[in-house]
Amino acid sequence: MNGAQALIRTLVDHGVDTCFMNPGTSEMHFVAALDDVTAMHGVLALFEGVATGAADGYARMAGQPAATLLHLGPGLGNGLANLHNARRAHSPVVNVVGDHAITHRPYDAQLQSDIETVARNVSTFVRTSGSTAELAGDAVAALAAAVGPPGSVATLILPADVSWSEGGVPIRGPRTAGATAILGGRAPDEAVLGAAAAALRSGQRAAIMIGGRACSGQALDTVADIAAATGAKLLAETFPARLERGAGRPPVDRLAYLAEFAAMQLEGISHLVLVDAKSPVSFFAYPGKPSDLVPDGCAVHLVAGPGDDAHAAVAALAALLEVNEGTAPRQAAGTPEAPTGALTSQSVCQALGALLPDDAIVSDEGNTSGLFAAGATAGAPPHDWLTLTGGAIGQGLPVAVGAAVGAPGRRVVALEADGSALYTLQAWWTMAREGLDVTTVLLNNHSYAVLNMELDRVGVETPGPRAREMLDLGRPSIDFVHLATGLGLHAARAETAEEFTDEFARALATPGPSVVEAIVPALL
């Protein structure tokens, strides 16, 4: 058995049975081994950022890691932005990067570069496997690092000769080994819990901000009960990896992206209790404005950070506060009417709220155009909301790919903006190839609209025509129906609210992927 066969066998035995890949010559034995270990599902991407973003989306929905397979330093570079987002999402990823054969390295051939330095940007674990015999052990170590908790990107660099040589020794493991990323962690700190409980009981104004693993399941329900019982405001971090929401679930507002609005949400709070969330900071810095969004004099209680057992912390806090289970208000069912008239980003969101199917998954990279999406879908049937955790755009479509692979049978809606889509548009092809049930809503406002806003916010009062031109995507105009068709998907364009509603409904009702391009005016 060669190294590649032992590696794949080991991964599959430990529950990692999906690999998003864009291989090259140095990875050919890994590819060949897919015929020896047929339990591994290889998903081809045309660009590495699709593979890494898909691994992130898969982890968020499947609750366990996928593997990636990338081609040397440049392949890792292409995948880096979405590994950054995965890092911020605490998604477990077993990131396999092929390298030249160890014997080839002294020659500094054209594709050689220092892979480990690049990998450190995103990885908690970086190891170059040194021998075929040790490779399976290296994979088990990478998997253990990836699942944490917290989940993280673990990079295993795989030299071609380690992969192709005989002498591979697979390691047996429980199929559940990868699933631990969503469970466990450090036990809660009693003193912090006590202080948080006292704060919540104090009668002073308090907020609980949740993130990570506190945004779903029992932890979400319990934290909502705590908020209801104590009168605390319940907020989610700005960009949660996966937020369960919709009718029958606890309603949770996310902290606003814009610091000005976030400050309003936090105004007057004396205590901020953090559950698997970081203390809130401005997404970007702006001249003369604070980075730290915690109000002056507000005490911060970190009852669970990444790597802590958020579920246990929430349960312990509820016990301290003697909170009764199931007392929190639940979101009432209720959806907007289908929109009519002119098509705007608001009417697109309205149609999204009107039509979102039960148990849907929304991969949200709508940016400025998606501003109304949360409100319009608040009372929609229960669904999961996946966001741009690390702020590196080009995440939405790849995460949709991974979510669809990781949660088969559920409809994925990718709420995508024109500027963002163009970083990783190749994801559409993988959706078509795999027949994934992903409906992309492409909000085309012909601009980097968020940057028009940011230009103003950073203090550029009268941007000139040359600056404006750098934010303009309308010259030439980009036609996403052509682009989607070129990549093998059914696509349609909507220019009125009625057209959008019809096309979106048709897309949702049709198995497999499709794209609805919504031509909308820029909001900003």
Of 261 and 284, the one with the shorter C-beta distance to a copy of itself is: 284
CB of residue 209 to a copy of itself, shortest distance in Å: 15
Q: How far apart are the first and last CA of the chain?
A: 59
Q: How far is the CB of 155 from a copy of itself (least distance, A)?
A: 13
Q: Which one, 166 or 253, has the nearer CB to a copy of itself?
A: 166
Q: Which is nearer to a copy of itself, 281 or 505 (CB)?
A: 281
Give least dist CB 482 to a copy of itself, A: 3
Mapping DSSP onto H, E and C, the string for 488-516 reads CCEEEEECEHHHHHHHHHHHHHCCCCEEE
Q: What is the DSSP string of 103-120?
A: GGGGG--TT---HHHHHH
Smallest gap from residue 226 Cβ to a copy of itself (A): 26
Q: At what angle do helices 396-406 and 72-89 cross, to 10 degrees?
A: 80
Cα–Cα distance, 118 to 115 (Å, whole number): 5
**Smallest separation (angstroms) from a copy of itself to the CB of 393:** 8
| Distance (Å, whole) CA 57 – CA 385 | 11
Q: CA-to-CA distance for 308 and 385, rounded, in angstroms?
A: 23
Residue with smaller CB distance to a copy of itself, 114 or 322: 114
Nearer to a copy of itself, 292 or 358 (CB): 292
Question: In 303-327, which positions are buried (b, 16+ CB within 10 angstroms) versus exposed (e)?
Answer: bbbbbbbbbbbbbbbbebbebeeee
Our CB check for a copy of itself shows the closer of 34 and 338 to be 34
| Min separation Cβ 346 and a copy of itself, Å | 24
Q: How far is the CB of 283 from a copy of itself (least distance, A)?
A: 6
What lies within 8 Å, CB to CB, of 522 at 6+ separation is 368, 445, 446, 447, 449, 452
Token readout for 441 is 């809503």
CB 481 within 8 A of CB 491: yes
Nearer to a copy of itself, 430 or 501 (CB): 430
